[in-house]
């Protein structure tokens, strides 16, 4: 038991990340607002709002519009009808302060805190209207604070995929690094033990790479609208998979054990260095845009989004999956050695 503590730790981390990653709620937010494109001069100007994970009927609501350019001008709703926890119909007096016809919509209550949807309403007849009263809603900044994942447009609930998609790649890179380390050890000593470890680790890494591609593909369909998009990181991942599948073909094309171990090790080292160049250098060059966070522009996600509630879950998922990956590789190595031993008997 003593030497197996890391397996227990890894399993616990993965179980924690699975439970926390799927159970913790997403913070409340404003999902959509109907009457997107309206003539605001017709009073009362009605907007029906649907919220997500909200508690509209639990506390008193305040609803107001904020002009996108003239941020200080706030126009409060004259009448608010709460249908249920997720739906509100708000009526506004005629609004439209000159230049900018686009308004953001804010809803505040003490249960949910301040919810805001930028550019929620686009008005048409700005020239006719007059600026009606500006109001100052009372907002308690600390209201509605809860331990929950952030609510992001475009991502919504799929934000949880961060705990499943990204750790797959971390795990794959970690396993490939471990296999290259063992392949180098093999070339230095020509001890078949290291080659078996390295080979089985690569096969496990391919499994994790495929899982990373599948989770990423599903996520891309939900957020970016296509199963596959043209992106440096996606292409890099696909090419890495091709290189390692080629490794498997190369290895299986030879019969002699010593020879295939040696040539496999050489190709694996070669492919690994090129993969590092591909994933590490190319996306950082000028003029390469990626939809992924970190570099390039991405409307849905950026580095600040990994906020304090997600961080512990994310890190434990990464650590846990890397350990599980190494464990799988170790078991595969053992199975391989046992098969070999029974064949030799």
Partner 1 sequence: MSLGAQTWAMVRREFLQEQRQKYALFGVLLYVVSTVFVSKFGFKVIKDVPVWNALFWTILLFTSVIAVARSFQQETRGRLLYLYFLVDPRAVILAKMLYNVILMNILAVAGYFFYGILVGNPVQDTGLFFSTLFLGCTGLGIAFTMISAIASRAGNNFTLMSILGFPIVIPLLMLTIRLSKIAVDGAAIETPWSYIMALVMMNVLVTGLAYLLFPYLWRD
| Residues binding partner 1 (CB under 8 A) | 187, 235, 239-240, 242-243, 245-246, 249-250, 253-254, 259-260, 262-263, 265-267, 269-271, 273-274, 277-278, 281-282, 285-287
Residue 103 Cβ, how far from partner 1 at the closest point, in Å? 41
Residue 192 Cβ, how far from partner 1 at the closest point, in Å? 15
- Assess contact for 74 and 135: CB atoms under 8 A: yes
Residue 339 Cβ, how far from partner 1 at the closest point, in Å? 23
Residue 12 Cβ, how far from partner 1 at the closest point, in Å? 37
Residue (253 or 344) nearer to partner 1, CB: 253
Q: Which residue has the tokens 């981390």?
A: 13
For the residues of 126-147, what is the DSSP string, one character each?
TTT------------TTTT--S
Complete edge-to-edge strand list for the sheet that includes strand 87-92: 29-34, 45-52, 87-92, 79-84
For the residues of 209-263, what is the DSSP string, one character each?
HHHHHHHHHHHHHHHTSSSS---HHHHHHHHHHHHHHHHHHHHHT---HHHHHHH
- Assess contact for 105 and 65: CB atoms under 8 A: yes
Residue 236 Cβ, how far from partner 1 at the closest point, in Å? 8
Residue (135 or 245) nearer to partner 1, CB: 245
Residue 272 Cβ, how far from partner 1 at the closest point, in Å? 10
Residue (111 or 254) nearer to partner 1, CB: 254
Residue (99 or 266) nearer to partner 1, CB: 266
The DSSP letter of residue 191 is -
- The first and second tokens of residue 244, run together, are 């390692």
Residue (43 or 250) nearer to partner 1, CB: 250
Residue (143 or 239) nearer to partner 1, CB: 239
Residue (70 or 279) nearer to partner 1, CB: 279
> For residue 103, how many other CB atoms are within 10 A of its CB?
28
> How far is it, in rounded angstroms, from Cα 229 to Cα 209?
17
Q: Give the torsion sign (CA, 328, 329, 330, 331).
A: positive
Q: Which residues contact 45 (CB under 8 A, 6 or more apart)?
A: 35, 38, 39, 91, 92, 93, 94, 95
Tell me the helices (H) and strands (E) count for the chain, helix number first.
6, 9
Residue (59 or 273) nearer to partner 1, CB: 273
Residue 199 Cβ, how far from partner 1 at the closest point, in Å? 15
Between the alpha carbon of residue 201 and those of residues 208, 268, 278, the distances in Å are 11, 12, 21
> How far is it, in rounded angstroms, from Cα 98 to Cα 245?
61
Residue (225 or 287) nearer to partner 1, CB: 287
């Amino acid at each position: 038991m003593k030497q197996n503590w890391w397996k227990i730790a890894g399993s616990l981390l993965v179980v924690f990340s699975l439970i926390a990653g799927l159970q913790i709620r997403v913070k409340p937010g404003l999902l959509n607002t109907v009457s997107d494109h309206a003539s605001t001069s017709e009073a009362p100007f009605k907007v029906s709002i649907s919220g997500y994970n909200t508690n509209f009927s639990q506390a008193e609501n305040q609803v107001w519009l904020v002009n996108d350019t003239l941020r200080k001008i706030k126009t409060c709703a004259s009448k608010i009808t709460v249908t249920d926890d997720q739906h509100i119909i708000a009526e506004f007096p005629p609004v439209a302060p000159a230049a900018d016809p686009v308004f953001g919509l804010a809803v505040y209550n003490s249960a949910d805190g301040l919810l805001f949807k930028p550019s929620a309403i686009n008005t048409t007849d700005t020239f006719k209207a007059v600026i009606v009263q500006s109001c100052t809603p009372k907002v308690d900044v600390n209201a509605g604070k809860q331990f929950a994942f952030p609510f992001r447009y475009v991502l919504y609930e799929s934000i949880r995929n961060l705990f499943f998609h990204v750790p797959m790649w971390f795990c794959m890179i970690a396993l490939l690094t471990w296999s290259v380390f063992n392949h180098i050890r093999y070339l230095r000593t020509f001890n078949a033990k290291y080659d078996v470890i390295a080979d089985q680790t690569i096969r496990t890494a391919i499994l994790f790479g495929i899982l990373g591609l599948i989770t990423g593909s599903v996520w891309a369909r939900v957020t970016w609208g296509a199963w596959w998009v043209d992106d440096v990181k996606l292409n890099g991942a696909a090419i890495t998979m091709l290189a390692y599948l080629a490794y498997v073909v190369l290895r299986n094309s030879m019969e002699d054990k010593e020879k295939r171990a040696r040539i496999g090790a050489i190709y694996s080292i070669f492919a690994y260095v090129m993969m590092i160049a591909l994933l590490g250098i190319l996306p950082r060059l000028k003029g390469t845009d990626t939809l992924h966070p970190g570099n390039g522009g991405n409307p849905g996600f950026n580095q600040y989004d990994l906020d304090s509630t997600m961080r512990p879950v994310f890190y434990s998922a990464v650590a846990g999956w890397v350990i599980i990956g190494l464990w799988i590789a170790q078991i595969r190595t053992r199975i391989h050695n046992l098969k070999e031993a029974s064949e030799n008997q």
